[in-house]
Amino acid sequence: MQRRQRIHDALRVLGPYLDPVLHQQAREAAQAGSGDPDADGVAGAITISAAVSTYQQGGPPVAHLQGPRGGAVVGGHIEGIASALHRPRILQDVRRRMTSTESAHHHG
């Protein structure tokens, strides 16, 4: 129970840095790629990793916070996120798909 509370406390701190748009893009890329059964866990892992990086570098919070807050988006998928964080190859593949999809939208 304490572990879960610490995780939720950390998500509260990271909340302003959790990007729901990034989460949606990562989720779509995870679903389109390997057909990972836990696309929400993979998307949450990518979103949290980006938030931690931005927070540690002193970057600004996410500007476009319409819709659900980041913490609400990832909060229900803690186990899937933890599992995805132990599979860096899958995270790299999804990030690569996101980058190639983004390039296709900008250049197509």
Token pair for residue 25? 């893009």
Which pLDDT belongs to residue 68? 54
Which pLDDT belongs to residue 32? 86
Which pLDDT belongs to residue 77? 83
Which pLDDT belongs to residue 69? 57
Domain boundaries, the chain: 2-99
Taking only the tens place, the pLDDT of each residue in 31-60 is 987 666 789 999 999 999 999 999 999 999
* Closest alpha carbon to 84 in 41, 20, 23, 21: 41
Whether the model clears a pTM of 0.85, i.e. scores above it, the answer is no
Q: How many Cα atoms sit within 13 Å of 90 on the Cβ side? A: 27
Which pLDDT belongs to residue 35? 63
Residues of the chain with pLDDT under 50: 106-108
